């Protein structure tokens, strides 16, 4: 199995390694402007998920276990992992099972994206079912609808929407089958059960106006961890690193007590 491609952005002033994992249908290029703010503080390793961007043609399957294993082989062992949205699920699985990471950062990401009887802050499972149906009929329009949902609520929604739309196909069209698998992960995965045994500190960064990942879901998840802190970015939506990069950077750098 071919190793994943990883982009590394060196820092002249920092030696701490930071791994960035993007969200559904995107690629690491979405972090470009934020990386400029991160490199004074971190050596950044940006990994496109299997089936996306630079790793669009990899034979690594888009599953939590396969992704966590493949990524852990191409990034430094003792690193901070930051996963946005779907990338957060993969980072959390790696933290729980495979990787001796320094710290976990969940960026607008939840251990369980779907609402359940004991989890009131998830989204309706019908939303993911509807998106999955849309992928089979018109995947371009479905991507656009999802992007609009990501931007909705932010006080910079128009700017955020434009950036997401510009970036989504910048590294080529993702495989619709991979997109469908990513939706399945968002709909089916529930990683809450092992949060209490998470061996490293964790930081949970939410957007107050996020319509995909309710900040209350992230606060509830963090409360299950032994060492965790929550930072809620006011006026931000699902992609606060685009619109509130300084606030997100400060939250990422804050020490977990």
Centre a 10 Å sphere on the Cβ of residue 120 and count the other Cβ atoms it contains: 11
Residue tagged active-site, from 210, 214, 220, 244: 210
Domain ranges of the chain: 6-253
| pLDDT at residue 1, rounded to an integer | 66
> Among positive and negative, which fits the CA dihedral 222, 70, 239, 142?
negative
Helix/strand/coil for 54 = helix
Residue 101 has pLDDT above 90, yes or no: yes
Residue tagged active-site, from 156, 231, 238, 244: 238
For the chain, what's the residue count? 257
pLDDT tens track for 120-149: 999 999 888 898 889 888 988 988 888 888
pLDDT tens track for 162-213: 888 888 889 988 788 999 999 999 999 999 998 999 999 999 999 999 999 9
Mean pLDDT, rounded, for 69-81: 95
More confident residue, 162 or 22: 22
Q: pTM of this prediction?
A: 0.95
| pLDDT at residue 168, rounded to an integer | 87
Mean pLDDT, rounded, for 32-57: 95
Answer yes or no: 85 catalytic: yes
Whole-angstrom distance, CA of residue 239 vs CA of residue 160:
8
Answer yes or no: 244 catalytic: no
| pLDDT at residue 109, rounded to an integer | 98
| pLDDT at residue 223, rounded to an integer | 97
Lowest-confidence region among 32-36, 93-97, 154-158, 225-229? 154-158
Residue tagged active-site, from 72, 85, 154, 220: 85
| pLDDT at residue 161, rounded to an integer | 84
Residue 150 has pLDDT above 90, yes or no: no
User: Residue 85 — very low, low, confident or very high, per pLDDT cuts 50/70/90?
Assistant: very high
Residue 155 has pLDDT above 80, yes or no: no
Answer yes or no: 78 catalytic: no
Take residue 229 and report the two structure tokens written for it: 């802190």
Mean pLDDT, rounded, for 38-58: 95
CATH class of 6-253: alpha beta
| pLDDT at residue 99, rounded to an integer | 72
- Alpha-helical regions (H) of the chain: 32-38, 64-72, 86-97, 125-137, 139-151, 157-168, 176-188, 215-223, 240-243, 245-253
228: which strand partners? Answer: 202
More confident residue, 225 or 12: 225
More confident residue, 151 or 16: 16
């Amino acid at each position: 199995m071919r190793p994943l491609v990883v982009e590394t952005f060196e820092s002249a002033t920092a030696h701490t390694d930071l791994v960035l994992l993007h969200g559904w249908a995107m690629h690491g290029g979405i972090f470009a402007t934020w990386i400029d703010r991160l490199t004074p503080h971190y050596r950044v390793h940006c990994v496109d998920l299997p089936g996306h961007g630079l790793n669009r043609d990899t034979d690594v399957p888009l599953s939590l276990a396969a992704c966590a294993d493949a990524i852990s082989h191409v990034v430094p062992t003792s690193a901070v992992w930051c996963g946005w949205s779907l990338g957060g699920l993969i980072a959390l699985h790696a933290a729980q099972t495979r990787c001796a990471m320094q710290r976990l950062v969940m960026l607008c990401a939840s251990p369980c994206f779907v609402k359940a009887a004991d989890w009131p802050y998830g989204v309706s499972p019908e939303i993911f079912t509807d998106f999955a149906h849309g992928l089979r009929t018109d995947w371009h329009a479905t991507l656009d609808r999802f992007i609009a949902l990501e931007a909705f609520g932010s006080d910079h929604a128009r700017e955020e929407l434009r950036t997401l739309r510009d970036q989504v196909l910048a590294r080529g069209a993702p495989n619709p089958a991979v997109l469908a698998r990513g939706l399945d992960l968002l709909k089916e995965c529930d990683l809450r059960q092992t949060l209490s045994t998470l061996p490293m500190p964790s930081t949970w960064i939410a957007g107050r106006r996020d319509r995909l990942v309710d900040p209350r879901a992230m606060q509830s998840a963090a409360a299950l961890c032994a060492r965790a802190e929550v930072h809620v970015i006011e006026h931000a939506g699902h992609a606060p690193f685009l619109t509130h990069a300084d606030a997100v950077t400060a939250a990422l750098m804050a020490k977990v007590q």
